[in-house]
Amino acid sequence: TPLSIKDLKQKVGDETAKIGQGRAFKNGWIGKEGDGLVKLTESIDDTTRNELSEIRATGTLAAGEKAIAELRKRKLVQQKKLVWFSAQKGSNFSTSLDKLETDLTAEMLQSGAWKTAKFKKYNFDAEGIPPNGGALHPLLKVREEFRNIFMEMGFAEMPTSQFVESGFWCFDTLFVPQQHPARDLQDTFYVSDPPESLPPPTDYYEKVQKVHTVGGYGSIGYRAPWSDADSRKLLLRTHTTASSSNLLWRLANRKGGFKPVKMFSIDRVFRNEATDATHLAEFHQVEGVVADYGISLADLIGFMQTFFRKMGIHNLRFKPAYNPYTEPSLEIFAFHPMLNKWVEIGNSGMFRPEMLAPMGLPDGVQVLGWGLSLERPTMIRYGINNIRTLVGHKVSIDSVEKSAAVRF
C-alpha cells in the first residue's frame, strides 16, 4: 500500500523525511506510485548507519576522508581534535620556583655565589636581535654618483688630501692679488702654528711675483706691493683649485713634456662665512680641470650641460661673472623647487694667461676649470631646504639610514 508523503512526515518528522526520502530515492530503495511512496526492495544495506557505527567504535572511517566529509556535511558527525600530555617528575622537580641566572657577573665571581647558582641554558638555535647596519650619508651617496659621472666622461681623479696650503699655492699662483678681500681674516682661516710654509720652487715663485707686480705675457699685472710673508702664510684652503694649480705646474714641467688631461676632485674646503640656509664654513667642492690645445668657452658650457644633465638637473642658467684667475668667467645657477628660486651651484671659466704662462705650459694650451659645491646639488636631489639639516648636529640619524640611493 503506498505511503503518502504527508503520513511519512507525521511518522518521522519534516527534516528526517526530507533527507531520508532523497537518499532512499538515490539508492533505489523506494519509488513513487500515484501520490504515495512504495518500497522497491525487500531489504536494504544502511551504509550511513554502518559508517556511524564504525566511527563510534574506532573514531575514524576506513572509507576515507571523502566519506567523512559527506557525513560532516549532513551534520551527522563533528570532528574534534584531542590533545593530551603525559607528565612525570624529573630530576630537578621542585615545588618552588627558582630564578635561573643568565649572566656570570663579576660580583658572583668575587663572592663565590657562582658555585651554587643555577644558570639558564643557552639556546643556540634562538634568533638574536638583528644588528644595525651602517648607512652612507646622503653627501657620500651623491659624491659617489659624481665620481661615476666623471669616470664615465673620461676624467681621472687628482689627489687633494692636503687641507692646509700656503698663500702662494692657494692665491698667488691663481693670480689673486695679495690685497684681495678673500685673503682677509674675515674670509679665510689662517694657521697659527706653524705660521709659515716651506719655500716654493724659486724659479716659479719669481715668475709669479713678476706677473703680479710688473706684469708679463700681455698683462700689466696689479702693480701693487708684494709681500713674501703673505705668500708664505699657512691657511685652510678656501678652494681645491690650489691643488689644481699645483697639478698644472707639475704637468707643465714633467718629464716628456705636456700632455692633455681631464682631471677632477671632490674634497673639503673652508671659508670664514656666516652660516645660513645655504652656506656653511666647511663644505665640499667638486672641481674639474681640462687642459688641451684649442678648447674654448663653448666647450666649457657644453661640458657643464652634459654633466648636470647626467645628474638630472636640466634647468640651468649661466651668468657672466668675475674671477681673478679666469676670463671669461661664468656662474652656474639651477632652479630649486623647494626654495622656489634660482640657486648658485657652481663657478667656472677659462684660466687666465697670467696664471698659465708662468707655469711653463706650451703656447696654444687652454685650461678650462669649474667648481661647484657638493651640498647644494644634494639638497636639490633630496628636497632639503636648509643645509644645516644635511650637515651638522641637527642631522637625523634615522633620515640618514632611510635616505634613498642616488641615481641621477
Q: What digits encode the pLDDT tens for the residues 140-168? A: 988 998 999 999 999 999 998 889 999 99
Longest dimension (CA), the chain: 142
- Of 106-110, 197-201, 386-390, the one with minimum mean pLDDT is 386-390
For the chain, the helix, strand and coil percentages under 3-state DSSP, each to the nearest 5: 35, 20, 45
**355-376 pLDDT, tens per residue?**
999 999 998 999 999 888 888 8
> Does the reported pTM lie above 0.75?
no
pLDDT at 408 over 60: no
How far is the C-alpha of 101 from the C-alpha of 106, rounded, in Å?
13
Give CB contacts under 8 A, 24+ apart, made by 112-117.
none
**% of the chain beyond a pLDDT of 70:** 99
